[in-house]
Chain A
């Protein structure tokens, strides 16, 4: 217990002394996770909404597939993308492997089904009267769709936050595609894994605390926004 307390103290001193290595890992994590979330949202939100709003013969299959992809192990996903980005792979010519961009590609693929699933749930839970009301008031299909999006925006935000939470906390993709290169592709999670295996528990714990602070801040921010805007 004493060593744990000592580690927590060391962790906070690392954070408040602005340790460059800690903040480099934090920056890489936040940067790659933010870009991945943006890209995954661009695909995931429309996919979820389209599946939720339309009827097509393979809809059930599409929903099952989305659910299954949510459970995709990050290491397997990392492995598949590794195959694509490696020199012999289809996209090897781009030279992305072991760069932050490779992490973004992998994490985008990881977050897309999560964001799509959450947005699908939001659409399903939305009041069935929204679209007919907008249409009968003379709105175009696009305006009606925009109104629906506005009505379920908190569900959409929750989808984006869930995607962000998933990618910022994952290790497999960042490790396999980024390579855990110091000052370049080392993220908080890969650094935690490395430092802990080296016996640098305090350093690992410091990064863990930062990771938790970021996750909690985002959730608290979201909740405050919802409380402010709710009727």
Chain B
């Protein structure tokens, strides 16, 4: 039986005074690939922020490894060390690729040759071997995304959260990232990916969690339409 990493019950998160997320119940298990889909503003990033322990819900109970999350400073630091979030447009710190990739591992007390080895392996996994000395702020968008992913992998987290990892990346980067996600799941890592692509979950043999206006959509309900309105639609008619 798979271990339950997260359990959310009646969790509500508000953003700028509005309810951005309202989850009645959600369990996320070890070694599971979860793809959170939904339109813009459906609450995907908010859910990832809550799962990354960066955004405190306004109400509800959240459990991590069976323990209730109390959102206290000392507990949060420990919890955040189990989870890594890769943002949609990741921020790379000033300096070399190696200094970026080693950041999280260093914060966990890893140093010396063990740290170097982690950096090397993480870069190898994302197809960027030999990039250690490159300036992190002079990479292409796809390379920067992969460095951010390598930086997350170097932390060796139990949970990895990725906000739109496949948006605006080339075919090669897409293939590398998708292969990597599947490999992580095989290693027992809980992977949660947000995406606009409703077919991603199916393609990667994962679970699709649909969000609409901050709420989970039951599997029985049909997919939302992503089609752009035609010029004849009522929006244009009002102009």
Query: Which residues on A are within 8 Å of B, measured CB to CB?
Result: 127, 129-130, 132-141, 143, 147, 150-151, 229, 231
With A137-B155, A138-B80, A151-B93: A132-B107 Cβ-Cβ less than 8 Å: no
Instruction: Establish whether residues A231 and B83, one from each chain, have CB atoms under 8 Å apart when the complex forms.
Output: no
CB-CB nearest 7 A-B residue pairs:
A137-B104, A231-B137, A129-B91, A136-B85, A138-B81, A138-B107, A139-B107
- Contact of B54 with A129 in the complex, beta carbons under 8 Å: no
Q: Which chain A residues lie closer than 8 Å to B203 at the CB level?
A: none
Flag B103-139 by CB within 8 Å of A: 1 or 0 each: 1100110000000000000000000000000011110
Total inter-chain residue pairs, C-beta < 8 Å = 58
Least CB distance, B131 to chain A, in whole angstroms = 15
Chain A interface, >50% SS class: helix
Interface CB pairs A-B, < 8 A, 7 = A129-B87, A133-B91, A134-B103, A137-B152, A138-B77, A231-B136, A231-B137
* Prevailing SS type, chain B contact patch: mixed
Query: Contact: B84 with A151, CB < 8 Å?
Result: no
A133 / chain B contacts, CB cutoff of 8 Å: 87, 90-91, 93
A139 to nearest B CB, angstroms?
5
Q: Does B146 contact A (CB under 8 A)?
A: no
Contact of A140 with B103 at beta-carbon distance under 8 Å, contacts A231-B137, A231-B138 already known = no
Given contacts A136-B52, A137-B151, A137-B155, contact A150 B94 (CB under 8 A): yes
Q: Are B54 and A132 in contact (CB under 8 A)?
A: yes
Contact with A along B93-105 (1 / 0, CB 8 A): 1100000000110
In the complex the two chains form, is B54's CB within 8 Å of A151's CB? no
Q: Is B2 an interface residue (CB 8 A)?
A: no
Q: Is B73 an interface residue (CB 8 A)?
A: yes
